[in-house]
Amino acid sequence: SVQPGDARGDCAGGDVRKGNAIRPGKDGLDEAVPHLQRIGAVSLYRAQDTAQLSELRLDSNVVIWLPSRPVKQGDVVTAYVTVASNSTVDLFILRAKVKKGVNILGTRTSEPRQWDVKQELGNGGKHATTTVLCQRLGSSVRNRSSSLFSEVVQMNFEIASFSSLSGTQPIAWQVEYPRKMTTDTAVSEIFISQKDLAAIVPLATDTEILNTAILTGKTVSLPIRVVSVEENSAVTDISESVECKSTDENVIKVSDRCDYIFVNGKEMKGKVDAVVNFTYQ
């Protein structure tokens, strides 16, 4: 059973018979258990959820995985550095460069028995850099996992601030190998939101639009408003800040300002469940 520790970090006393504890004894008989003694600590880390990560492939060996969902100012973003499971690379140097507003934090080796990782930090004024040297421990040690990639190291970045005009923070990546072989610079973007959005919802006065414009030549339109719903249930009109696109303009069109959908008689076909996508960042 799991019990809270005392002020010194030792295991607190109590009724050790409660819960699903393992108790020593003979022939199934319970015996008195002596005072519990602290033997160590276990650190828990959040595993990566690939469903919420975007892939940035630097070359055939190294792939970076970053959160695809927006983060908030003050959040810590973790970049997962992986190598292809069939890669024969034993040593590489990963360089990352960030602009002002992003703080480079520490790294954590994902597989200490397989990789040795060393980090160096640099500060060039408007940009901060980090260099991470990754060396495989023994060329014969390989990942026998059936997955396509093997995680090497986790790199943490803190979003300290961002430009309200862009709402993003770029990170430039580059890999260098022995004999000075260097990849081209690849850039990933971290999207930043000032709100905890649960969803954005387009609202219309009707769910159907009949294309009479083919007969009359007069445009038929349907006004649209878009609202955001935050985690705390707050609702905000964001109609002026969204982008939109029809999945098939031969069926239905959307205005440049995303404030109405319409048909003007130039459509080639009709459709049930026509889709117009609205995005907001």
Please give the average per-residue pLDDT across 187-196, as a whole number: 82
Same domain flag for 185 and 112: yes
pLDDT class of 164 with cuts at 50, 70, 90? low
- H or E element: which one contains 53? strand 53-57
Alpha helices in 134-249 (DSSP H): 213-216
pLDDT the model gives residue 18: 46
pLDDT class of 46 with cuts at 50, 70, 90? low
pLDDT class of 166 with cuts at 50, 70, 90? low
3-state SS, residue 52: helix
Last residue of a domain, one of 138, 173, 191: 191
* pLDDT higher than threshold 80 for residue 8: no
Same domain flag for 102 and 184: yes
Instruction: Please count the structural domains in the chain.
Output: 3
Same domain flag for 121 and 84: yes
Same domain flag for 101 and 220: no
Same domain flag for 93 and 112: yes
* pLDDT higher than threshold 50 for residue 237: yes
* pLDDT higher than threshold 50 for residue 105: yes
CA distance 87 to 81: 14
3-state SS, residue 179: helix
Say what the pTM is: 0.57
User: What pLDDT, in 10s, does the model give residues 51-86?
Assistant: 578 999 999 999 999 988 888 888 899 999 999 988
pLDDT the model gives residue 188: 93
Last residue of a domain, one of 176, 191, 206: 191
Indicate the range of 117-121, 236-240, 277-281 predicted with least confidence. Answer: 277-281
Last residue of a domain, one of 129, 162, 191: 191
Residue with token string 């002020």? 7
Same domain flag for 110 and 173: yes
Please give the average per-residue pLDDT across 34-63, as a whole number: 78
Same domain flag for 104 and 119: yes
CA distance 110 to 169: 25
pLDDT the model gives residue 165: 46
Same domain flag for 220 and 275: yes
Same domain flag for 35 and 144: no
Same domain flag for 184 and 203: no
Same domain flag for 215 and 251: yes
Q: List the CATH number of the domain containing 108.
A: 2.60.40.680
Q: Which residue has the higher pLDDT, 269 or 17?
A: 269
- Which range marks the domain in which residue 83 is found? 50-191
- Taking every pair of Cα atoms in the chain, the longest distance, rounded to a whole number of angstroms, is 93
User: What pLDDT, in 10s, does the model give residues 215-229?
Assistant: 999 999 999 999 988
Same domain flag for 59 and 31: no
3-state SS, residue 3: coil
